[in-house]
A and B are shown apart, each in its own frame.
Chain A
Amino acid sequence: MITFQDISKTYRIGDEKVYALNHANLHIRPGEFVSIIGPSGSGKSTMMNIMGCLDTADEGQYLLDGLPVKDYTERELTRIRSRKIGFIFQNFNLIGNMSAEENVELPLIYQKLPAKDRKSRVQDALEKVGLYDRQKHKPSQLSGGQQQRIAIARAMASEPSLYLADEPTGNLDSATGYQIMQLFHELHDRGNTIVLITHDESVAAQADRSIRMKDGHAKEVTV
């Protein structure tokens, strides 16, 4: 599903060239649950941004479903983000002035789905995360764990095949974190590909396999 071939990404800090990714290679098969672990500054987030087609590599080739991403136009990349990829962030990234329901509906609006289909999908997703009764609440009226579940419901609603989660439990206590991890396991059991970025070894250990990032290199490890 995901193949990184010698991918490099550099940032310029003053006159110095800093490698966020330094000829990184990895391969993730469809249906896998992979965790990416490493200290901050090791290139985890850059890797996720490239995977999620939010950013492009400076060197090397990124193949998504076997096709090189750099050949896509911006419009096509937007379409891929919209249909194929579900993002889950550490700080939830819900839109504050919209209700839970509206937040979940938003990606479906961008997919130009008719209103009837949107409604049933939103209901479905909210039921799966157990927050259907909170659909009219604004994010500020929900706890952290609930907000993250809404964010997962938002990712689920567009029925992507690839879930990219960046420190999804980072802002939550361990009990709530556990609930969130259960949701990822459920998603995995339904055949979805999950890439989870974390610096928490115990979270990383719940994946099929772990990839450790260090100084922009990717290295397979068993945790």
Chain B
Amino acid sequence: MITQSVKMAVTSILSNKLRSLLTMLGIIIGVMSLVVLVSLVNGATGSITDSINALGNNLLNVSISDDHDRPLKLSELSSFTEDDLFESIAPAAASTATATGAYAEESAHLTGTTAAYLDIQGLELESGRFLMKPDLDNHSNVAVINADLATEVLGRTDVVGENVRFNGKRFLIIGVLKEKNTSSNNASDSTLRAYIPYTSLIRLSEDVSLNVTSFCISAAGDDMDAAERQLENILLERFGQDEDAFSIFNQSSVAEAMDSVTGTLSLLLGGIAGISLLVGGIGIMNIMLVSVTERTREIGIRKAIGAGRGTIMLQFLIEALIISLFGCFLGIAFSWIVIETVNIIGSTDYSLSSGIVLLSIAFSVGIGVLFGLYPANRAAKKNPIEALRYN
């Protein structure tokens, strides 16, 4: 019976090709917007999450805004890591300076820090070495620069042993960092950066003193929340229980916030696309109602030769279902084409999200049944005599 109903439904859909196609268009557009939008948001979320994770996810950044006249001394920092929850700690004083090299002159970000900074931030060296304790003790004018600064200012990356000037002061380049992975199109960090001993930055910049206002600390275990709580307790004690004296940035909470933002975004876009799918469903209902009226006589004939209510109902329901399902498959196919086109044009790497494909199929079936039910029921309830008399 089902096979026969499917066959009849296909026959009647094909006998009115243009109308069927236009009806499907609502579903096609709905499914397409749903699948494409959600797939793109998912893809974007993936690459954003990746770049956040690349920043290191056992990292806590602290900045101190009010030291209550008891500034945090550089020498004090090491006492933090006595707690088992923390691995290592490094001050991070930021400043900007004009970097002058053999090739060009550019504005660069300077970070005054200590040896531990490399591991905490998960930086990788291309050549040379990072800062060491003697560099700090001697206030040496040495610098580790990132690949961008090397290429922009010095013209190449194998520059260990050469000199660069920050605000006119000469620094010996002791190390060059690896180029950041730029295969993802986001170019996450193309800033020119240099890392110099904290003590050297004090001399270079007036804003920086031995009083540490910003540092980063890495947690020993995976439990970032525990580490953050512990750090908060230590700092609260240090600054007279003033919560506003400092702020802690948790890299993983940034990732979580990002997740919830993109989650909301895909829900929102999915919701809008869902509405257009619903409109498509109403289109199906409309056409099915017209079709039931047009085929009143046919319904009468079928009833006279032995079709029961259920049979007629099934036939029209299957017809609505086929229109919406076929529209859904076309929509998915078009979505795939759109996403591949986006990938080719933008050289990105988006893919159809299988979850949303399944969801849109389920949604289309639901819509086909929901909006086919009423017209099918109307067809099934027709009085055979009146239906046969209908012209």
Q: Which residues of A line the B interface, CB within 8 A?
A: 49, 52, 54-55, 74-75, 78-79, 81-83, 87, 89, 93-98, 106-107, 109-112, 154-155, 158
Contact = CB atoms under 8 A, between A and B. Distances in A.
A70 B191 CA distance: 90
The 5 closest A-B pairs by CB, nearest first: A82-B306, A78-B308, A110-B306, A97-B15, A107-B305
Given A78-B303, A81-B306, A107-B305, 15 more contacts: A52-B304, A54-B303, A54-B388, A74-B309, A75-B308, A78-B306, A78-B308, A81-B303, A82-B306, A87-B304, A93-B304, A95-B298, A95-B301, A110-B311, A155-B305
Interface string B371-391: 000000000000011001000
A93 B388 contact: yes
16 contacts: A54-B304, A54-B385, A78-B303, A81-B305, A82-B306, A87-B305, A89-B388, A93-B301, A93-B304, A97-B15, A98-B11, A107-B306, A109-B4, A110-B306, A110-B311, A112-B1
A41 B306 CA distance: 27
Contacts of B238: none
Nearest to A99: B11
Contact of B302 (A97, A106, A111, A155): A106
Contacts of A97: 11-12, 15
Contacts of B193: none
Contacts of B388: 54, 89, 93
Nearest to B16: A97
Contacts of A96: 298
Nearest to B305: A107
A109 B315 CA distance: 13
Nearest to A81: B306
Contact of A110 (B11, B15, B305, B384): B305
Q: Is the contact region of chain B dominated by helix, strand, or loop, or is it mixed?
A: helix
Contacts of B297: 93
B301 A83 contact: no
B362 interface: no
A118 to B, nearest CB: 10
A110 B300 CA distance: 14
Interface centre among B302, B304, B305 (most CB of A within 10 A): B305
Nearest to B4: A109
B305 A154 contact: yes
Interface residues of B, number: 21
Interface in B263-312: 297-298, 300-309, 311
A89 B297 CA distance: 13
Interface centre among B1, B4, B311 (most CB of A within 10 A): B4
A158 B306 CA distance: 10
Contacts of A74: 308-309
Interface string B65-79: 000000000000000
Nearest to B297: A93
Contact of B384 (A54, A82, A155): A54
B1 to A, nearest CB: 6
A96 B302 CA distance: 12
A111 B306 CA distance: 7
B385 A49 contact: yes
Nearest to B310: A75
Contacts of B384: 54
Contacts of A54: 303-304, 384-385, 388
A109 B1 contact: yes
Contacts of B304: 52, 54, 81, 87, 93
Nearest to B295: A95
Contacts of B4: 109
Contacts of A79: 306, 308
Nearest to A157: B305
Nearest to A105: B4
Contacts of A154: 305
A8 B100 CA distance: 111
B12 A83 contact: no
Nearest to B298: A95
Contacts of A110: 302, 305-308, 311
A103 to B, nearest CB: 9
A58 to B, nearest CB: 14
Nearest to B12: A97
A78 B311 CA distance: 11
Contacts of B298: 95-96
A125 to B, nearest CB: 13
Contacts of A81: 303-306
A44 to B, nearest CB: 14
Contact of A83 (B300, B303, B306): B306
Nearest to B306: A82
B169 to A, nearest CB: 89
Nearest to B14: A97
Interface in B320-350: none
A110 B307 CA distance: 6
A54 B298 CA distance: 15
A27 B119 CA distance: 105
A97 B14 CA distance: 10
Interface string B112-129: 000000000000000000
A53 to B, nearest CB: 9
B309 to A, nearest CB: 7
